[in-house]
């Protein structure tokens, strides 16, 4: 079964991915970040789209798949510093376990390692692979800057929010989908359809992540619930709430956003207050419907590939698992 083959290949890939360089002060945080794991959704997607064209996984695809995950992990290290996040994947974040300066430098070397791995892609497609990867890397940074810029604004239009998460989150998932197809030998049209599949799925995934930050379980989510609310992040939920609220409710929301968060009890009070407003406006339900629509759109691109049913089913299964969809 191809899904088991992908699972085994990903597990083996990261079990064997070793960073043995010194000094330890630079590379230990990198090793720590890779060892705490994660869902590995991007390398799984990369191998999945590759498997639509070639059945055996070898170094030509395994190294680029690893490159995408290493780059993603680098962005998380820096993202956690900017968000002042204490927990990632259920354990202390790199900057909490070490310090900010160490986390910044270790993240930098991680980004360099990702290019070293990508450079092992087949020579015939390496220029195109580097072009795709470099453009994606710049876009992720652009998305992070928009995200930080939004923190200084009372509200942002939904269009701007979607642009931000498109850059910060969706393009790397789209890159993984296209990279696997490109190295597998897909033609340009197929590569672009799989990119769009990954992009819309990435939007759905980020909105689902925003939903989980308010409505999820810490043990399942892998990080503290309510962080977006505490930090006044312009999540999909907050953006939609401000957009939907009448003047009185919007004022109530702005007052809630100004609540102090110095102590744990103050943080909890702010989270509960904002969540109550979300519930009054049915924001959680709207988010789940938007996730479903984006997932359907992604699968529409997959359908255009005219794949055999079993191949299309692989993409559908991946999409449903990614966003926790059961129907």
C-alpha to C-alpha distance for 99 and 109, rounded to whole angstroms: 16
The number of helix segments (H) and strand segments (E) in the chain equals 17, 2
Domain at 2-323, CATH homologous superfamily? Farnesyl Diphosphate Synthase (1.10.600.10)
The dihedral of CA 249, 250, 255, 259: what is its sign?
Answer: positive
Give the model's pLDDT for residue 220.
66
Note the pLDDT of residue 326. 44
pLDDT tens by residue, 113-167:
999 999 999 999 999 999 999 999 999 999 999 988 988 888 899 999 999 999 9
What residues are paired with 87 via a beta bridge? 92
pLDDT band at 89 (very low <50, low <70, confident <90, very high): confident
- Per-residue pLDDT at 37 exceeds 90: no
Burial label, 312 (beta-carbon count in 10 A; 0-12, 13-18, 19+):
middle
Digit-coded pLDDT (tens) for 204-236 = 999 999 999 999 876 666 566 898 999 888 899
pLDDT in tens, 255-313: 999 999 999 999 999 999 999 999 999 999 999 999 999 999 999 999 999 999 999 99
CA 128 vs CA 103, 111, 147, 174, 270: distances in Å: 31, 19, 29, 15, 47
Task: Look at residue 325 in the predicted model and tell me its pLDDT.
Answer: 57
Question: Is residue 190 a contact partner of residue 277, using CB atoms and an 8 Å limit?
Answer: no
Return the higher-pLDDT residue of 55 and 116: 116
| Prediction pTM value | 0.93
User: How many residues belong to the chain?
Assistant: 327
**What is the per-residue pLDDT for 138?**
98
Residue 327's pLDDT is 41
Domain spans of the chain? 2-323
């Amino acid at each position: 079964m191809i899904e088991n083959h992908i699972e085994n290949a990903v597990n083996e890939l990261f079990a064997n991915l070793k960073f043995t360089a010194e000094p330890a002060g630079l590379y230990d945080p990198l090793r720590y970040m890779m060892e705490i794991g994660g869902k590995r959704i991007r390398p799984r997607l990369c191998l999945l789209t590759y498997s639509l064209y070639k059945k055996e996984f070898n170094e030509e695809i395994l190294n680029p798949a690893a490159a995408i995950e290493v780059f993603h992990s680098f962005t998380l290290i820096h993202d956690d510093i900017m968000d002042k996040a204490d927990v990632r994947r259920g354990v202390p974040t790199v900057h909490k376990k070490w310090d900010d300066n160490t986390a910044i430098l270790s993240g930098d070397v991680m980004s360099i390692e990702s290019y070293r791995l990508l450079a092992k892609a087949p020579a015939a497609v390496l220029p195109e692979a580097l072009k795709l990867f470099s453009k994606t890397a710049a876009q992720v940074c652009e998305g992070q800057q928009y995200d930080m810029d939004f923190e200084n604004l009372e509200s942002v239009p939904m269009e701007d929010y979607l642009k931000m998460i498109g850059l910060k989150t969706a393009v790397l998932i789209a890159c993984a989908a296209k990279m696997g197809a490109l190295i597998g030998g897909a033609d340009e049209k197929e590569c672009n359809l799989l990119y769009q599949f990954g992009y819309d799925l990435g939007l759905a995934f980020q909105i689902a992540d925003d939903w989980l930050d308010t409505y999820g379980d810490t043990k399942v989510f892998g990080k503290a619930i309510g962080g977006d609310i505490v930090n006044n992040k312009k999540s999909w939920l907050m953006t939609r709430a401000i957009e939907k609220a009448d003047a009185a409710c919007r004022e109530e929301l702005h007052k809630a956003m100004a609540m102090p968060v110095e102590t744990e009890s103050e943080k909890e009070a702010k989270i509960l207050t904002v969540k109550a407003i979300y519930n009054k406006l049915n924001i959680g339900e709207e988010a789940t419907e938007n996730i479903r629509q984006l997932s359907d759109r992604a699968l529409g691109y997959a359908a255009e590939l005219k794949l055999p049913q079993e191949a299309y089913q692989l993409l559908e299964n991946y999409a449903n698992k990614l966003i926790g969809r059961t129907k």
